[in-house]
């Protein structure tokens, strides 16, 4: 049974929600994070939500000496690997920074795991590995190809883990391909806290709702979709976090490597999200149509069948819950974590 889990990048958006779910399932959590895109106060908030302790260590997963010390200190049963840079646009400007950090961290982690006989890993991958999909919904057998360095780091990390799994006796891995995680914990204590002006749709809408930004720029209304705006599979971050627990149960009982989509199977357009947000929060979201954003695709949504069949997981929260919880987080934390 998995009793103690090392969570890399555990102070981040998805990592913090996953730490909460782990602790609430009575799993001990060792969280490591270099706080390059997250805040120390997240750790206290996780503790106040759950009423449980977790061990936190500030370190970069690429630092083999420091990471090795963590494996020396604790009896780790499995790892959930979130740590990594994640801004698509920045990855195009600074590809080497992305390859160096995101690939080195995966390799260093697997080396430390091997040294300490830890052979179970859940990896935070992304639907970005499907590139421009030929058909939707996308299932796990769809072609993979990426359109930016961030995506390639996910693609290559997946390959590294697959190869490690073949070479390591009794190894088991799940590569979770997330669609578009949004929303926040219902407590309003943890949520998404982007640096500067948000790139992603929901954090941007939240800042328009808060009056920090004047209007939403809708990138393109001439896509081949019902209303012309881009369609995505938005998934509540709490549902996503729960998917990691199901993945842990699976790798505890099974060997080998599997990739699994985490999505709802439903696609919503940008304007659907704007409407849902307005309804859920009772706030008008002004928007203007802008040209398409470079690199965006028209439509992306998951075939989530494998997650249900293999892991017994499916998303339970709807778009209204996602918008309402994101708004609640924004209202309770106008400046994010602010420290």
Count of residues engaged in binding ligand UFG, rule: CB under 6 A: 21
Site map 51..90 versus ligand UFG, x via CB under 6 A: -----------------------------------x-x--
Q: Measuring CA to CA, how many Å separate 157 from each of 81, 115, 144, 163?
A: 11, 19, 13, 10
Tell me if the bond preceding 105 is cis, omega within 30° of 0.
no
Considering only 300, 325, 328, 330, the residue that binds ligand UFG (CB under 6 A) is: 300
| Cα 133 to Cα 145: distance, rounded to the nearest angstrom | 9
| Cα 214 to Cα 232: distance, rounded to the nearest angstrom | 24
Residue 108 or 300 with smaller CB distance to ligand UFG: 300
**Residue 8's closest CA among 70, 68, 82?**
82
Residues 196-235 that bind ligand UFG (CB under 6 A): 199-201, 204, 216-219, 230, 232
Considering only 174, 270, 307, 323, the residue that binds ligand UFG (CB under 6 A) is: 270
Nearest distance in Å: CB 198, ligand UFG: 7
Given the residues 85, 130, 150, 234, the one annotated as active site: 150
Work out whether 260 is an interface residue with ligand UFG (CB under 6 A).
no
Nearest distance in Å: CB 213, ligand UFG: 9
Paired tokens of 268: 């919503």
Residue 27 or 191 with smaller CB distance to ligand UFG: 191
CB 119 within 8 A of CB 164: no
Work out whether 123 is an interface residue with ligand UFG (CB under 6 A).
no
CB 102 within 8 A of CB 157: yes
CB 133 within 8 A of CB 299: yes
Q: Is 327 a catalytic residue?
A: no
Considering only 16, 126, 172, 264, the residue that binds ligand UFG (CB under 6 A) is: 126
Site map 84..113 versus ligand UFG, x via CB under 6 A: --x-x-------------------------
Looking only at the bridges linking them, the beta strands covering 120-126 and 172-178 are parallel
Cβ neighbours of residue 320 under 8 Å, at least 6 residues apart? 276, 279, 280
Residue 62 or 88 with smaller CB distance to ligand UFG: 88
| Cα 28 to Cα 5: distance, rounded to the nearest angstrom | 6
Chain residues in the site for ligand UFG (CB under 6 A): 86, 88, 126-128, 179-180, 199-201, 204, 216-219, 230, 232, 270, 293, 296, 300
């Amino acid at each position: 049974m998995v009793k103690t889990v090392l969570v890399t990048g555990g102070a981040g958006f998805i990592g913090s929600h996953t730490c909460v779910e782990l602790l609430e399932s009575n799993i001990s959590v060792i969280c490591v994070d270099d706080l390059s895109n997250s805040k120390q106060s997240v750790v206290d908030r996780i503790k106040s939500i759950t009423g449980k302790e977790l061990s936190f260590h500030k370190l970069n997963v690429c630092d083999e000496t420091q990471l090795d010390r963590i494996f020396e200190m604790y009896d780790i049963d499995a790892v959930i690997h979130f740590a990594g840079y994640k801004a698509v646009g920045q990855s195009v400007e600074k590809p080497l920074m992305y390859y160096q950090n995101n690939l080195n961290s995966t390799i260093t982690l697997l080396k430390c795991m091997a040294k300490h006989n830890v052979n179970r890993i859940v990896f935070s991958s992304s639907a970005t590995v499907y590139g421009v999909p030929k058909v939707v919904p996308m299932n796990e057998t769809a072609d993979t190809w990426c359109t930016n360095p961030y995506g390639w780091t996910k693609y290559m990390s997946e390959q590294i883990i697959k190869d490690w799994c073949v070479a390591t006796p009794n190894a088991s891995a799940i590569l979770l391909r997330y669609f578009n995680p949004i929303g926040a914990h219902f407590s309003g204590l943890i949520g998404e806290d982007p640096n500067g002006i948000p790139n992603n749709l929901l954090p941007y809408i939240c800042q328009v709702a808060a009056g920090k930004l004047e209007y939403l720029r809708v990138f393109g209304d001439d896509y081949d979709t019902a209303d012309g705006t881009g369609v995505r599979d938005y998934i509540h971050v709490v549902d996503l976090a729960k998917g990691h627990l199901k993945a842990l149960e699976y790798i505890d009982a099974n060997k080998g490597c599997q990739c699994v989509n985490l999505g709802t199977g439903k696609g919503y357009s940008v304007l659907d999200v704007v409407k849902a947000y307005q309804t859920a929060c009772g706030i008008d979201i002004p928007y203007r149509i802008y040209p398409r954003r470079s690199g965006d695709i028209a439509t992306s949504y998951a075939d989530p069948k494998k997650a249900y069949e293999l892991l017994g997981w499916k998303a339970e929260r709807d778009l209204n819950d996602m918008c309402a919880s994101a708004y609640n987080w924004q209202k309770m934390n106008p400046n994010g974590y602010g420290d």
